[in-house]
Each structure stands twice: as C-alpha cells, then as structure tokens.
Amino acid sequence: MKEDCLPSSHVPISDSKSIQKSELLGLLKTYNCYHEGKSFQLRHREEEGTLIIEGLLNIAWGLRRPIRLQMQDDREQVHLPSTSWMPGRPSCPPKEPSPQDGNVTAQRPSIQPVHKAESSTDNSGPLEEAEEAPQLMRTKSDASCMSQRRPKCRAPGEAQRIRRHRFSINGHFYNHKTSVFTPAYGSVTNVRVNSTMTTLQVLTLLLNKFRVEDGPSEFALYIVHESGERTKLKDCEYPLISRILHGPCEKIARMFLMEADLGVEVPHDVAQYIKFEMPVLDSFVEKLKEEEEREIIKLTMKFQALRLTMLQRLEQLVEAK
C-alpha cells in the first residue's frame, strides 16, 4: 500500500502498513501524558489533510565497532594565529611602552600630541606592520584604564577548540587523539524529527549531527524490548511512528543504533527463553528429548504395522497366481 493511495483517515507506518488517524492520535495523547512537563512531548499538525507529528526522538548507542568523526566540518574555515604559542609565553604581545608613560603620573597628556605621534608612526612605519596591528596603541589616562575592562587573551589551542565546537557524544568532543572511539553502550542521544522522515533519513540526520564519517547504509535502527525481542526497522518505516506505537516507556522498549551487519533480529518466540536460568533451560531440553523419543517410538510402531500389512498382501497375491 503506497502512501499516495492511502485515505486521509489513515497514517502510513511503512510501505505496506497503515494505522487509523484517530487511533494514532489516541496513542499520541498517552505518549504526551507520560512525558508531561518534559521536552519529549510531541506536537502534531495537519497539512493538506496529512497528519504530521514532530519532536525529539531518543536513540541509544549500541555499536560494537568504533566510529570515526570528521576531521573538520564542511565549509568551516579555521584561522590559526600567525605567532606560535609556547608554554609560559603570553599569547597576546605585550604593549610597548610609549614615551609618555613616564609622565602619566606627573601630568595628563593632551590629545593633540597623541594624534601627532600616531600620524608620524603611520608615515614612518612600513605597511606590513600596519597590517599586523590595524589598531595602534594610544596613551590612556588612569581614569580610562580603570573604566575599560581589559580583553581576555586566549591561547591559540583554546580559540581553535571554540571555533570547532560541535555536538558531543556524551561529553566527547573531537580531537586528534580520540577521533576514533566507541560510544558507551546504552548511552542515549536525541534528534528532532517528524513522522514523515524514514529510517534512512533519521540515520543521516543523526550521523550529520555528530559529524560521523561512516555512511547511513552501514547502520540500522532496532527496537529492543525488555524481554530481549529485537526488531529491525526497515528503510521504508518511520521511526517516530514506531516509537509511538511501542509506547512512551523506554524501560519496555528502546530504540538502538547498531551496525547493519552485526545486528541480529530476535523473534518473540526465542526472546521468551532468553532470561531463563541454565537449569531451567536444561529441564526444557530434557522434556523436549523425552517427547521426541515418544514420537519416534510411535512412528516406528506405525510403520512396522504398515510394513507387516504390505507383506501379508504380497503373499496373498503370490498365492493367488
């Protein structure tokens, strides 16, 4: 069933499944009541008869292999200062003492000599020095020094870190030593999505948020239940709709980001045996073996009886000839 062929009273879950709009709105109301007073409440609106739900979607990290962050953001230009910084050396050049500094306490300098000094400095100094220091130092009075706060000088490394600020994965920012790492299993992040975004679009949005170099085709989203059941979301499904259908409580069902080739689906029939202890599972196996042996005995006796009947019939046919 395609989305274009759906009636206005239905909302698509995937390419082949849909749900009634009234039923989905009822589940959405329950979802928002659970998250009342929190930022995880979802909003909905209708555009041309189509129901659109939007809000934050929690996704837990379930990766086993490390991921690599991009070296530099797209279209990001980082300009490093020309002077190299050394430990114990100030990052900002010290202010050169002017000839009037010795007379500041004795008498207040007039404004006119300062302008003359600036003009003489501009005419005598080369152009390269003017480009490096576009604002020339001026002699200030004691009152101006007290009223104006001195700008804070930052080291080049700190300035570069501020320029390269990006979203962090549980407090982890990019640096050259830890650009390849594995996020803590079960740690949660979130992205703002809407109900029209497919699984592939949500994966792309999440990877772009953290500037992950790996492509979205290498990952997959799974719904992991408390019982151990694990279901993979198809590329045509809508993760936000799936989250609403599975309920708001993440203790019962959580959405995980896993590798596409390492993630394994666990059906409900298998998941119900996962949390049993080994002695209980061994007793189940023994009972299954006993039942298997009984079935083997029944089938053996049945075929022996059929074989005997066939042999008797063959003897009768031979005697009749």
C-alpha–C-alpha distance, residues 308 and 80, integer Å: 96
Residue 58, amino acid = N
55: left (phi over 0), alpha (psi -120 to 50) or beta: left
pLDDT band, residue 139 (cuts 50/70/90):
very low
Whether the CB-CB separation of 54 and 43 falls below 8 Å is answered with yes
* pLDDT for 203: 94
CB contact at 8 A, 133 and 95: no
In angstroms, the CA 269 to CA 281 distance is: 14
Spatial separation of the C-alpha atoms in residues 125 and 98, rounded to whole Å: 15
Q: Give pLDDT tens digits for 186-207.
A: 999 999 999 999 999 999 999 9
Nearest CA to 195 out of 135, 240, 255 is that of 240
pLDDT above 90 as % of the chain: 38
Find out whether 256 and 221 touch, Cβ atoms under 8 Å: yes
Is 16 in contact with 1 (CB distance < 8 Å)?
yes
Q: Is the pLDDT of residue 146 over 80?
A: no
Residue 44 has pLDDT above 80, yes or no: yes
CA distance readout (Å), 81 to 52, 86, 92, 160 = 48, 13, 10, 10
Confidence (pLDDT) at 104: 42
Greatest mean pLDDT among 20-24, 131-135, 143-147 lies in: 20-24
Name the DSSP class of 216. Answer: G
The span from the CA of 68 to the CA of 86, in Å, is 30
Q: How far is CA 271 from CA 64, 231, 284, in A?
A: 21, 11, 15
User: 236-292: per-residue pLDDT in tens?
Assistant: 899 999 999 999 999 999 999 999 888 788 887 777 777 778 888 889 899 999 999
β-sheet bridge partners, residue 225: 253
Q: Where are the domains of the chain?
A: 3-70+167-271, 276-321
CATH of 3-70+167-271, one of 1.10.287.130, 3.10.20.90, 3.40.190.10, 3.40.640.10: 3.10.20.90
What is the number of other CB atoms lying within 10 angstroms of the CB of residue 24? 21
Question: Which is nearest to 85 in space by CA: 142, 188, 160?
Answer: 160
Predicted confidence at residue 219, as pLDDT, reads: 94
Q: Is a pLDDT exceeding 70 seen at residue 2? A: no
| Predicted local distance difference test score (pLDDT) of residue 7 | 61
State how far the Cα of 278 lies from the Cα of 285, in Å rounded to an integer.
10
What pLDDT, in 10s, does the model give residues 65-79?
888 887 654 444 444
pLDDT given for residue 141 in this prediction: 41
What is the average pLDDT across 69-92? 50
Using the predicted structure, report yes or no on whether residue 15 has a pLDDT greater than 60: yes
- Which residues, in sequence order, are CB contacts of 129 under 8 Å at separation 6+? none
Q: How many CB atoms lie within 10 A of CB 189?
A: 18
**pLDDT score recorded for residue 160:** 57
Residue 68 DSSP label:
E
Can you tell me which residue has the tokens 């993979």? 232
Residue 210 confidence (pLDDT) above 90: no
Question: CB neighbours (10 Å) of residue 254?
Answer: 20
* % of the chain residues with pLDDT over 70: 64
> Distance (Å, rounded) from C-alpha 271 to C-alpha 181?
30
The per-residue pLDDT for 138 is 37
Task: Give me the chain's average pLDDT, please.
Answer: 75
